[in-house]
A and B are shown apart, each in its own frame.
Chain A
């Protein structure tokens, strides 16, 4: 007969919540639980705990919640294992675009004429599928629909070569080139389509400039009117949030919802690429929090319901799962394992958010391992001694903010994105406070409804 294991609380920090509650938040995972503040000392004093009898209910709860280790090892069901192969391949078909957006993070004159050839893309996909059961392929650019023939060729070839693999396709487009033929192709091949649009007003889209003809907003409006069913079934909207668009965001969200568009994702402007000198358009941390706060208000008063605001839902999801699926809102982020970018020049990268050497994966497997290890190393460094993160109770839920944005702001990866940090410090306390307070839980209910729509139902109840 072996010795009974010794249970200990995992490394955690506490966050004071309303009504005399305290949240215990793990450092190395998204594990959390709440306890009345006056019970915290008793809880800590109960460990290490060892016993050969059945676990007391509270010990079992803490074990299931990922807050205990057993003989030094965490509950394996509560730890996210690194992916063995990329799950998503982002294909930057071209550096060219028919728009001239003034903030374009992707713009670089030397990449403008770069084009990926179908054989390069097919080989990159094959390289992943040889060692995995499935893959999400995302066509990106520049404007990917400038290369529609290449997309069609790749999709047809991959479907033919790998009939037994689970392959999903997505595309991010400005929508200007969507024709009935392309819409039919995207529909037939089960594409998810992201449309780029910053607002429902011309002023809010002032940075989304075109060379000639109708404005970017007018083109999207035309598309919505022409293919309403396709849009409702397959499309969501990605908006870059700048000072030009931030104030209109609540009304924009309602505008999208009224048109039956099911998803909105926000990307705070980075001063990269063509937007390198647009500091005056970049939101401050306080302004970014105000954007979150406006959207939270709309959800709380039930004005926003059917529209899935992905930016909020992906952060909420971390309270509901030990295995966060969002690529950015976790630590280490997907650049550490499951994200692969094939850029327009044929280079492999772990992320496309910033064109920095930090994300280049090189041509040898050892180069890739080293580059991805750097992402994990940054996460461990932030947890251990990051100026903002080392003492932050929300580190396990946040993961240390986006490394690309940290590089964009500070020039080095060993730093945090101040905007990402501010919204995390605003948003999670709101959610946790709602959880411990008596009464309605509109934010958590909003997540639950949309989670049901996306996947299996998730129960919401005290354990």
Chain B
């Protein structure tokens, strides 16, 4: 790792053995998997406490009918 100004620069070299007839897409996926596993600061998602309210997808009623007794604008 080198440091240039305030920026860290990582140089990574990877050796991957793959069959000679492997497709470029499969090759990319293998490479991606190797890089992902080597990520030094990979977050442990299980330690995150994310909360929200489960959403209703597509309200049952819509438009003015959900706004009964209102004039149609605010």
Contacts and interface: CB of A to CB of B under 8 A. Distances in A.
Interface of A: 1-4, 32-36, 39, 42-43, 45-46, 50-52, 56-59, 61-62, 65-66, 77-78, 87-88, 90, 136, 138, 140, 168, 170, 172, 192-195, 235-238, 263-265, 267-268, 310, 314, 317, 319-323, 325-329, 334, 338-339, 341, 351-353, 402, 404-405, 420, 435-436, 444, 454-456, 458-463
Given A33-B50, A56-B45, A58-B50, A1 B56 contact: no
B51 A136 contact: no
B63 interface: yes
Q: Which of B42, B60, B69 gathers the greatest number of chain A CB atoms within 10 Å?
A: B69
In this complex, the interface size class of chain B, counting residues with CB under 8 Å from chain A, is 35 or more
B33 interface: yes
- 5 A-B pairs closest in CB distance: A236-B69, A455-B60, A46-B43, A328-B74, A87-B63
B71 A321 contact: no
Interface string B28-65: 11001100100001110111111111111111111111
B26 interface: yes
Contact of B69 (A43, A45, A237, A325): A237
B38 to A, nearest CB: 13
A319 B53 contact: yes
A326 to B, nearest CB: 6
B45 A51 contact: no
Contacts of B67: 265, 310, 314, 325-327
A138 B45 contact: no
Contacts of A462: 51-52
Given A1-B29, A33-B50, A323 B64 contact: no
Nearest to A359: B73
B66 A88 contact: no
